[in-house]
């Protein structure tokens, strides 16, 4: 471009706004003295071809700095520099020589901040990612929009977008990309899940991690991506389209393709901290634009950062300016990218006031819950942080769902066979009313999970007594030591058929418990085919076959996959497994039909809950009050003892019989039977329930 024509512009929406004549730029900074907009011809340029100086007299309105540049268009590249006081003790860290990303950049070019940090600014800038101007109006969404699937009908499949297809075993044309995921949509359809929950896909720099694998010498990566650089930008390297802004189009293609088959997209978002680190970190955006606004700083020593995230800094999320940033970001992903929901990492950090104290009525989380645009958007909190915040059951804002770690731990202990956990397990199966009822919420606000990305896979939960994280380069000190796991006689893989059969049986038990429990079930990609991480319970840095989905498992463990597919189908077909409200008990019985839930001891008597141990029996009434439609009755018996037991089956309603739908002790494909193929019980009164097994009967 031979000459650049600029106008003062005006405080349009923050970020960039494309017009036929050029582009408006707007950024926030309260304490800057000057701001420089730098324009680049290509991603590899070390120096800009033009610098626009924003004058505070003509290019500033309040705290907003703005300029209009004629002739710029989508695909053009830019960065910022900001001049102001460098006074860390007062919270200021301005550096006019440091290139900065637009905090609202919608796309980035290829490159890395951390991989190429070399002496010599110009050489460093050759590999420094550039911000890309994007015009969201040039994409044809056709008739696509967020799906708004009711929570009670949701089944969430947590996955790492790259890792799902990165392995050569995936045999996709575009491995490790948004398009690669599109290629695997038929597999997701076959599972019957309602949503994919993607680990972070907002732009991050995987080379932030400098640890080395002590066994191979390979540099570790920030594989999971919980260290955001660009909150409005889908990750460049996850796109097969490498043209400037191509990652935005490809992300939209993925969302549209998933929506076309009825699958929602939920994003794991990280607003609790950023990649800029602590006082020894690097300025990338927020620190360089206005450090003291965006971060929690130590009150009397503002050169230091509060660290409620455990990652070096903590975002000052309830400052009005930061609130606006987060709300605008969520709006962007819903309105322009059509995502269906968000899971908020370490969400208790978002409840801290400007002094860092947990606020019971946090403005941001309440605002998110009440926001008009987000009203039909799923919002899921990880209701704790690394600074001691723990808000399970009372996360502020009203309609928030929560990751329920009580469910995870209680079901793990019960299936493992721990003593006197039956009461706990019964409460979790029934929707955790002890946690959610007092706050006026319902079972649908409990995200039930047994495994997540953070921890053992389900296969490893029944294969290892201890974590094996040596390859992470941290001396096996990282990761949780309290895994509530059991290896059933041998640490690691084994060819012993007795141990192997028991492990498979326990995996069937875990999946069965998850799918018959009230609440919203979530499981990790690969658990359905026994994916292993070889005992690594903190594979955040393993961008390799340790973490990637091994598609050979689909064939090798096809019987387990079929079991899970049928189990999901069973849950989807019957409303008794996914109620909107808590059980009412005896008062819900009508027309001589059983109530919505009844509990039994193994001999058919009313349980003495002080003595219940390793056994649970429950009947779900399909015609009880409170259900949207009539359903079948179900009887579920759970024996987590080491001994078989003969149980008494409650009498079915008049004119009906009990049919076996599930028996997890059966090691072939008849462990679960499709609708219409269930097996009539020879005895309608008794059943021999094998040790470590679950029985599901349907009344017809």
Catalytic residues: 345, 382
By the 8 A CB rule, do 577 and 410 touch? no
Q: Cβ–Cβ contacts within 10 Å for residue 540, how many? A: 23
Angle, nearest 10°, between helix axes 497-516 and 558-573?
20
Region of residue 22 (left: phi > 0; alpha: psi -120 to 50; beta: else): left
By the 8 A CB rule, do 202 and 230 touch? yes
The alpha-helical segments, DSSP class H, found in 192-319 are: 246-260, 286-294
Distance CA 528, CA 504 (A): 11
- Rounded to whole angstroms, what are the CA distances from 346 to 38, 182, 575? 35, 29, 32
Angle, nearest 10°, between helix axes 422-429 and 497-516?
50
Distance CA 368, CA 651 (A): 48
By CB neighbour count within 10 A (0-12 exposed, 13-18 middle, 19+ buried), where does 666 fall? middle
Paired with 108 in beta bridges are 131
DSSP state of 501: H
Characterize the bridge pairing of strands 15-19 and 50-54: unpaired
Characterize the bridge pairing of strands 401-404 and 446-449: parallel
Specify the residue for token string 């905090």.
103
Distance CA 224, CA 466 (A): 22
Specify the residue for token string 């044309």.
173
Determine the Cα angle at 646 with ends 645 and 649, to 5°.
125
Per-residue burial over 381-414, b = 16 or more CB atoms within 10 Å of its CB, e = otherwise: bbbbbbbebebbbebbbebbbbbbbbbbbbbbbb
Specify the residue for token string 């309609």.
399
- Rounded to whole angstroms, what are the CA distances from 538 to 206, 242, 391, 467, 542? 16, 31, 23, 9, 9
The encoded tokens of residue 51 equal 């610098």
Distance CA 257, CA 261 (A): 7
- Rounded to whole angstroms, what are the CA distances from 372 to 74, 101, 305? 30, 30, 34
By CB neighbour count within 10 A (0-12 exposed, 13-18 middle, 19+ buried), where does 569 fall? middle
Paired with 203 in beta bridges are 230
368: Cβ contacts below 8 Å, ≥ 6 apart: 326, 327, 330, 374, 379, 397
Which of 481, 474, 497 has its CA nearest to residue 535?
Answer: 481
DSSP state of 649: P
Which of 70, 58, 75 has its CA nearest to residue 11?
Answer: 58
């Amino acid at each position: 471009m031979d000459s650049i024509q600029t106008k003062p512009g005006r405080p349009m929406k923050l970020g960039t706004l494309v017009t036929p004549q050029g582009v408006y730029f707007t950024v926030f900074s309260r304490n800057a003295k000057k701001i420089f907009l730098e324009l680049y011809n290509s991603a590899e340029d070390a120096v800009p071809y033009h610098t626009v100086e924003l004058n505070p007299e003509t290019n500033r309105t309040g705290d907003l700095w703005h300029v209009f540049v004629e002739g710029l268009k989508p695909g053009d590249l830019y960065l910022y520099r900001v001049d102001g006081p460098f006074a860390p003790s007062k919270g200021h860290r301005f550096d006019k020589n440091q290139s900065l990303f637009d905090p609202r950049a919608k796309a980035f070019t290829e490159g890395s901040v951390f991989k190429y940090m070399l002496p010599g600014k110009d050489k460093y800038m050759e590999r420094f990612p550039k911000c890309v101007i994007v015009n969201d109006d040039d994409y044809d969404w056709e008739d696509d929009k967020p799906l708004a699937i009711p929570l009670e009908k949701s089944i969430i499949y947590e996955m790492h977008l790259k890792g799902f297809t990165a392995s050569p075993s995936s045999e996709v044309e575009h491995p490790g990309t948004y398009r690669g995921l599109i290629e695997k949509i038929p597999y997701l359809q076959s599972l019957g899940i309602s949503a994919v929950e993607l680990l972070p896909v907002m732009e991050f720099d995987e080379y932030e991690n400098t640890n080395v694998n002590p066994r191979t010498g390979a540099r570790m990566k920030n594989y999971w991506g919980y260290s955001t650089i660009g909150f409005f930008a889908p990750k460049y390297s996850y796109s097969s389209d490498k043209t400037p802004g191509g990652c935005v189009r490809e992300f939209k293609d993925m969302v549209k393709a998933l929506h076309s088959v009825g699958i929602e997209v939920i994003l794991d978002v990280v607003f609790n901290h950023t990649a800029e680190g602590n006082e020894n970190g690097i300025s990338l955006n927020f620190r360089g634009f206005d450090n003291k606004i965006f971060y929690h700083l130590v009150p009397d020593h503002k050169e230091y950062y509060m660290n409620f995230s455990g990652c070096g800094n903590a975002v000052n999320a309830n400052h009005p300016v930061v609130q606006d940033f987060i709300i605008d970001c969520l709006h962007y992903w819903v309105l322009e990218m059509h995502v269906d929901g968000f899971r908020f990492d370490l969400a208790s950090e978002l409840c801290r006031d400007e002094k860092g104290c947990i606020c019971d009525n946090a403005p941001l989380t309440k605002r998110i819950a009440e926001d008009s645009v987000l009203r039909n958007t799923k919002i899921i909190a990880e209701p704790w942080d690394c600074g001691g915040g723990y808000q399970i059951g009372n996360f502020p804002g009203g309609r928030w769902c929560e990751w329920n770690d009580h469910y995870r731990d209680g079901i793990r202990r019960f299936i493992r066979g721990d003593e006197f956990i039956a009461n706990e397990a019964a409460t979790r199966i029934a929707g955790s009313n002890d946690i959610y009822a007092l706050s006026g919420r319902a079972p649908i606000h409990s995200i039930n999970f047994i495994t997540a990305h953070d921890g053992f896979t389900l296969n490893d939960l029944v294969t290892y007594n201890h974590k094996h994280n040596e390859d992470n380069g941290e001396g096996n000190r990282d990761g949780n030591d309290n895994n509530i796991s059991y290896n059933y006689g041998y640490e690691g893989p084994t060819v012993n058929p007795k141990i192997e059969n028991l492990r498979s049986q326990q995996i069937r038990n875990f999946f069965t418990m998850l799918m018959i429990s009230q609440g919203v079930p979530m499981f990790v990609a690969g658990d359905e085919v026994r994916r292993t991480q070889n005992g690594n319970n903190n594979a955040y840095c393993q961008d390799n076959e340790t973490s990637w989905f091994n598609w050979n498992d689909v064939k090798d463990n096809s019987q387990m996959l079929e079991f899970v597919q049928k189990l999901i189908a069973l849950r989807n077909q019957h409303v008794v497994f996914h109620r909107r409200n808590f059980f009412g008990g005896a008062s819900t019985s009508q027309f001589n039909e059983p109530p919505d839930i009844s509990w039994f001891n193994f001999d058919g008597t009313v349980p003495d809950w002080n003595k219940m141990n390793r056994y649970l029996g429950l009947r779900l009434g399909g015609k009880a009050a409170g259900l949207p439609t009539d359903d079948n009755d179900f009887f579920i018996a759970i024996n987590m003892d080491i001994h078989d037991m003969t149980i008494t089956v409650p009498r079915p309603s008049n004119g009906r019989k009990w049919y076996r739908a599930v028996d997890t002790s059966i090691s072939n494909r008849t462990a679960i039977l499709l609708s219409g193929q269930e097996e009539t019980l020879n005895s309608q009164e008794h059943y021999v329930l094998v040790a470590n097994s679950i029985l599901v009967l349907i009344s017809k």
